[in-house]
Amino acid sequence: MPCTYEVEEDTGIICLMLTGTVSLEDRLAMHDKIHLDSRVHRGDLVRILSDQRDMKNQPTADDIDAMVQHASELSSEASTAVRVAAIVTRPVQFGMGRMAEVRFEDVADMKVFYDADEARAWLLRKRPDGNEP
């Protein structure tokens, strides 16, 4: 399977693993599966760690727009804030991730990283006032 995930019990982080060739349909199906998962805390900040280091292909700009639309529909149902940290290894992945950050800004707080530890720390951070963003 090109998309798998686990929910960490202690942090609630959804660890999404993308491997091989990942289609738009694979991504949308995974969004739906996560949305329906009872282990995902509703009403809280949903944190997703998207590990794309072993992914062979990149989404197109149209794919990103379709993912934004789909995520927008799901988030309107759940009314839950979402933070996504994407981990990548190649400059082209980083560039597409930066484009996704901008396109997802109304749906999720998203940031792309080369370093997994930095990505995890960003997911778990709080605002200076101690509250969740």
Summarised one tens digit per residue, pLDDT across range 5-62 is 999 988 889 999 999 999 999 999 999 999 888 888 766 688 999 999 999 999 999 9
Q: For the chain, give every domain's residue range.
A: 3-124
- How far apart CA 103 and CA 110 sit, in angstroms, is 10
- How far apart CA 5 and CA 14 sit, in angstroms, is 7
What does the pLDDT read at residue 88? Answer: 97
The highest-level CATH class for domain 3-124 is alpha beta
Summarised one tens digit per residue, pLDDT across range 104-128 is 998 899 999 999 999 999 999 865 4
What does the pLDDT read at residue 26? Answer: 96
This prediction has a pTM of 0.89
- In the 3-class helix/strand/coil scheme, how is the chain assigned residue by residue? CCEEEEECCCCCCEEEEEEECCCHHHHHHHHHHHHHCCCCCCCCCEEEEEEEEEECCCCCHHHHHHHHHHHHHHHHHHCCCEEEEEECCCHHHHHHHHHHHHHCCCCCEEEEECCHHHHHHHHHCCCCCCCCC
